[in-house]
Amino acid sequence: MALNDISLTAGMRNNLLALQNTSTLLNRTQERLSTGKKVNSALDNPTNFFAAQVNNNRASDLSSRKDGMSEAVQTIKAADNGITSITSLIEAAKGIANAAVASTVTSERTQYQTTFNEINNQISQLATNSDYRGTNFLKSGTLQVEFSPTTGAQTLTITGFDATSTGLGITNAVAWAGTGAAATAAIKSASTLLETAQTTLRNKSADLSANLTVITSRQSFTDNMINTLTTGSDNLTLADTNAEGANMLMLQTRQSLGVTSLSLASQAAQSVLRLF
């Protein structure tokens, strides 16, 4: 139907235009109430839409880095569990060495030597089993943790150490049998090696703890940054539902009045029928 096929009075046309505008506003308000956003696309507000998108993208990138940080924390915890258990075994080995020094019975010293070597073997096994998802800080493993959305921009490289018996310098007990000076000296030498290994474990544990502190601090910072970016994005796009609800009531009222006004405007045209 062509635009000029039907002629409307000026009053009717004005009221029709007002109704169309009200209907457009109603649709917009309904969309805002249903989505909770005043900016749903670039058509609504290009500046706010793209600024919010930048914030959301950065928050998403930072969120993916949090996963890597969490995995690094678990890897360090796995190493710490191993260090704790190895330290307990070293303490047990020191007790055995002390008992061997105090003993004057050859057979007892022989048994202590066997037990010591078994513990020494368990230390290496514990170090080997302290890996997390393929990374083992107790077998000289390394891990690079990313903090920035830009790859390689901000990283922390965690370097492990060799916590096996060989890496700690603990050798198998030999020549403990007998009660002579040579046997006693061999036992005391083993005790010295255990003391050195224990010191090494404490120092390396402190290094891992320092790295853990850095990672947990960056985790907290990243959480706060994600919250800040998300809040900033919401401030640019979220609608005030209370205001939009009031707008909806007013627009519905305006629509009802518009229909009534259109009916009144048409009465002038209808009055011609009274002539017949």
pLDDT category of residue 32 using cuts at 50, 70 and 90? confident
pTM: 0.78
Residue type, 186: A
Q: What pairs with residue 37 in β-bridges? A: 238
- Bridge partners of 257, per DSSP, are none
The alpha carbon of 217 is separated from its chain's Cα centroid by a whole number of angstroms, namely: 12
Mean pLDDT value of segment 36-53: 91
Query: Is residue 276 predicted with pLDDT exceeding 70?
Result: no
- The label of the residue with tokens 């000076």 reads 181
Q: Which percentage of the chain shows pLDDT scores above 70?
A: 92
Q: Angle at Cα 25 formed by Cα 20 and Cα 29, nearest 5°?
A: 150
The confidence score (pLDDT) of residue 12 equals 74
Nearest to 137 by CA among 150, 126, 146: 126
Whole-Å CA distances, 154 to 1, 55, 148, 228, 244: 66, 19, 5, 20, 44
Nearest Cα neighbor of 29 from 176, 265, 245, 268 is 245
The answer, yes or no, to whether residue 262 has pLDDT greater than 90, is no
Q: Is the pLDDT of residue 223 over 90?
A: yes
Mean model confidence pLDDT for the chain: 89
- Dump pLDDT digits (tens) for 136-151: 999 999 999 999 888 8
Q: In this structure, is the dihedral angle defined by the CA atoms of residues 184, 185, 188 and 194, taken in order, positive or negative?
A: negative
C-alpha torsion sign, points 235, 241, 243, 247: positive
211 pLDDT band, cuts 50/70/90, is very high
Largest Cα–Cα distance in the chain? 142
pLDDT for 4: 59
The pLDDT, as a whole number, for residue 269 is: 62
pLDDT at 3: 54
Domains along the chain?
Answer: 59-237 (1.20.1330.10)
